[in-house]
Structure 1
Amino acid sequence: MGQRRPWEVEDGLWEQIAPLLPVVERHFRYPGRKRLDDRRVLNGILFVLYTGVPWEFLPQELEYGSGSTCWRRLRDWQEAGVWRALHELLLAELRAADLLDFSRAAVDGSHVRAMKGGERTGPSPVDRGRTGSKHHVITDAHGIPLAATLTGGNQHDVTQLMPLVHAVPPVKGKRGRPRRRPTTLYADRGYDYDVYRRRLQHLGIRPVIARRGTEHGSGLSIHRWVVEAAFALLHHFRRLRTRWEIQDDLHQAFLTLGCAIICWRRLKTTLD
């Protein structure tokens, strides 16, 4: 066998994904064309995520199916909650292996250009008012993405702080109740509003947020850099550097899938 390409699903990851995929019954009286193998189609979806190539340019010689087939399967699996379930499953495995640290968390947002518009886009204040979106991410103390959300490019980061905190799933993996709240949350000056500090405290989270008007060099960056590292990993996937999807749920699907792959890499690298 030839060397596995970076975007092709390895056996260990496929074992995690396969049970999450919805079963599609084939009609025997009017079977139609045989459904393409799910693993091949997933390779096609990951090829687009990694390379950023348009769906219609998906190379047919790779035998991953047509771009339209991969697009529909991405949409159907997003609607079935597959990507969210995969991310949550891998977070639980990380926690079971003592690789997830809820003692600290960090949040931030990052702008991306939205080339075709669509829902959850808006004029970006950091890109001369061009249409864009924002990725919002919360990570654990090691930079593992716990949740990622999508908004318009004109949304202020702080307005998404609480939705992002609430987007963290209950993470199993250890005896007792699942964990979903970090002990301490670090954020930059964009989140400096006392009302949000109180909301975090109400959830039992200690906010450590830089104050506006103070000199740089507060030392908080030694805890906040992990979220920047998470963005670097996410935007290594070329499909996440620029938003091409008009449908916001499809871009969210790529964003969640990217988080899951980062979790899988961390789990695999540490346990190998």
Structure 2
Amino acid sequence: MREEILTDELWTRLEPLIPQQPRRFRYPGRRRADDRAALEGILFVTRTGIGWNRLPTALFGASGATCWRRLTEWHQAGVWQRLHEQLLAELRVAGRLDLSAALVDSTHLRALKRGDHTGPSPVDRARPGSKHHLITDATGTPLAVVLTGGNRHDVTQLLPLIDAIPRIRGMPGRPLRRPRRIYADRGYDHDKYRRLVRARGITPHIARRGTGHGSGLGTHRWPVERTFAWIKNYRRLRVRTERRADVHQALLSLACSMICLRRLILN
């Protein structure tokens, strides 16, 4: 029942963002599959992790190939990014977005088919892998996520993550974008990046390497770990099976939008 509610709420927000396809009169060809049927198929693949070619067409009214093409088509048109920004604005209006602080972290995943943005993973015997780099607000709401190779150091993505936070509207006045503080673990310990973060008007709270545990940062950072667990609930994102990085990025953006929608509707 909850999934049906979420799908209805998601479709209400997604439908106005989908670009209209021009009608072909001279050579109309096969009738285009319904957009909502394609969305339901995309969500089913993302949740269950099955292959696109195993999607039951009779159940959803759209084939796996159609759902895959629609996913990439909407990603190239910026639909998923605009959907995420719209949901963040709604969370701000509802008072459920806290940009007094931002939390950053990353997680590894194996890349079975290699492809773009993969590399030898230092935590998986140099097997091909990728990384999800995530930044959230103080409560764990995903603000931006970046895909890189598994051999990229976490600290190299600190500034790109901060710059990837969208302008969050929804209220009168200037849009929100910059958090006041940022919390990170020892993987982001580098004085150069501390200076660059401060230059953006943000106070860094980053654990230092070589010091004992018990810095107290864990009491602030745990929501980002929980958000990774929410993302991994979408089985298609536990292991990277998409060769193309843009397809995997589209699934990541969709998962972030679904997390925002859950926090808005069901919490």
The two structures have a TM-score, normalised by structure 1, of: 0.96
Quickly say closer, same or farther: Cα 1:39–1:142, change in 2 above 3 A: same
CA distance in 1, matches of 2:172, 2:193: 31
Which deviations, in whole Å up to 9, do the C-alpha atoms of 1:138-162 show, x marking residues without a partner? Answer: 0001100000000000000000000
Residue 165 (structure 1) shift: 0.6
Q: What is the aligned partner in structure 1 of residue 18 from structure 2?
A: 21
User: Which of residues 91, 96, 104 is equivalent to 2:93?
Assistant: 96
Aligned partner of 2:263: which letter?
R
Residue 8 (structure 1) shift: 8.1
Residue 11 (structure 1) shift: 2.4
Quickly say closer, same or farther: Cα 1:119–1:67, change in 2 above 3 A: same
CA distance in 1, matches of 2:89, 2:113: 36
CA distance in 2, matches of 1:42, 1:9: 12
Residue 221 (structure 1) shift: 0.2
| Contact kept? 1:48, 1:54, Cα under 8 Å | yes
| Contact kept? 2:101, 2:179, Cα under 8 Å | yes
Are 2:183 and 1:189 aligned?
no
| Contact kept? 2:40, 2:60, Cα under 8 Å | no
Are 2:117 and 1:120 aligned?
yes
Quickly say closer, same or farther: Cα 1:5–1:98, change in 2 above 3 A: closer
Residue 62 (structure 1) shift: 1.2
Q: What is the aligned partner in structure 1 of residue 160 from structure 2?
A: 163
Aligned partner of 2:218: which letter?
S
Aligned partner of 1:166: which letter?
D
Which deviations, in whole Å up to 9, do the C-alpha atoms of 1:55-90 show, x marking residues without a partner? Answer: 000012312411111111011001000101000000
| Contact kept? 1:45, 1:71, Cα under 8 Å | yes
Q: What is the aligned partner in structure 1 of residue 222 from structure 2?
A: 225
Q: What is the aligned partner in structure 1 of residue 62 from structure 2?
A: 65
Q: How does 1:1-272 map to 2 (within 5 A)?
A: 4=1, 6=3, 10-270=7-267
Quickly say closer, same or farther: Cα 1:243–1:176, change in 2 above 3 A: same
Using the aligned pairs only, state the percent identity. Answer: 59
Residue 105 of structure 1 aligns to a residue whose secondary structure is: strand
Structure 1 gaps of 5+ residues are none
Tell me the number of residue pairs that the alignment of Structure 1 and Structure 2 aligns: 267
Quickly say closer, same or farther: Cα 1:250–1:98, change in 2 above 3 A: same
CA distance in 2, matches of 1:95, 1:9: 19
CA distance in 2, matches of 1:35, 1:22: 14
Residue 133 (structure 1) shift: 0.3
